[in-house]
Amino acid sequence: EVQLVESGGGLVQPGGSLRLSCAASGFTFSDHYMDWVRQAPGKGLEWVGRVRNRPNSYTTQYAASVRGRFTISRDDSKTSVFLQMNSLKTEDTAVYYCVRAYSFGYRFDYWGPGSQVTVSS
Amino acid sequence: DIQVTQSPSSLSASVGDRVTITCQASQDITNCLNWYQQKSGKAPKLLIYDASNLETGVPSRFSGSGSGTDYTLTISSLQPEDIATYYCQQYENLPLTFGGGTKVELK
């Protein structure tokens, strides 16, 4: 059974940093791209970014709203993906979902339950 | 960036009704469109991929169609468990973008 479980969320002050982790199991993690998607309170879904797999050199891409502040990485040996968030703003407050991006990122077929990040003073 | 406009933003329907939700992209996305269902307090769930393919385990009352810039999600006979918010998502180009969502409620 495929499982994705996020951890590391919480309350942080504006300008602060937070690192989310996502532990994956039940599939060959190293084969897949992994993405992060977020959802602000009462709002829709927003793609945050992606880390590709080893054959694609672990390249990353980001939404414009987080580029330069957020970094996505992965550790295939630990079947985990990470989201390092720096220079956090109040508008980054959201539930952050770890997502398996199946078939070279063409669809999000498995989602974690989400991790709440609140940026507030 | 490709904009995806979803309509309506909300609808109210009765059990057994046929429900239709549309997404319009700002450019031709060549069937590169997925549909997701999100129930309250839960993570989204993939329903339809590549515009018209039913994800494994999804009831056959859900279907997707469309081409070019215009796509449709249809629920042929609304069931109480279909109460949720539905999102479309394009993957023709990065950044991946979602429609604004359609909240489906029971009349």
Phi, psi angle pair for A104, to nearest 5°: 60, 35
The span from the CA of A54 to the CA of A32, in Å, is 9
Residue B44 has its nearest CB partner, among A45, A63, A64, at A45
Q: Could you read off the pLDDT of A55-95 as tens digits, one per residue?
A: 999 999 999 999 999 999 999 999 999 999 999 999 999 99
Dump pLDDT digits (tens) for B32-80: 999 999 999 999 999 999 999 999 999 999 999 999 999 999 999 999 9
Asked if residue A33 lies in contact with residue A50, where contact means CB atoms within 8 angstroms, the answer is yes
Percent of chain B with pLDDT over 90: 100
pLDDT tens, A18-59?
999 999 999 999 999 999 999 999 999 999 999 999 999 999
Tell me whether residues A45 and B49 touch, CB distance under 8 A.
no
Q: Which of B49, B91, B100 sits opposite A44 (nearest CB)?
A: B100
User: Counting runs of H as helices and runs of E as strands, what totals does chain A give?
Assistant: 1, 11
The token pair at B58 is: 């999804």
Span between the terminal Cα atoms of chain A, in Å = 40
| Local confidence band at A105 (pLDDT 50, 70, 90 cut-offs) | confident
Instruction: Please tell me the distance from the alpha carbon of residue A108 to that of residue B49, in angstroms, as a whole number.
Output: 9
Residue A39: its pLDDT value, please? 98
Closest CA to A19 of A58, A71, A63: A71
SS3 B83: coil
Please name the residues in contact with B92: beta carbons below 8 A apart, sequence gap of 6 or more.
B2, B25, B27, B28, B29, B30, B32
Residues forming beta bridges with residue B44, ordered by sequence position: none
Which of A47, A97, A109 is the closest to B46 by Cβ? A109
The owner of tokens 């990353």 is A60
User: What is the distance between the alpha carbons of residues B62 and B81, in angstroms, rounded to a whole number?
Assistant: 12
Chain B interface, Cβ < 8 Å to A:
32, 34, 36, 38, 42-46, 49-50, 55, 87, 89, 91, 94-101
Per-residue model confidence (pLDDT) at position B17: 98
pLDDT on residue A104? 85
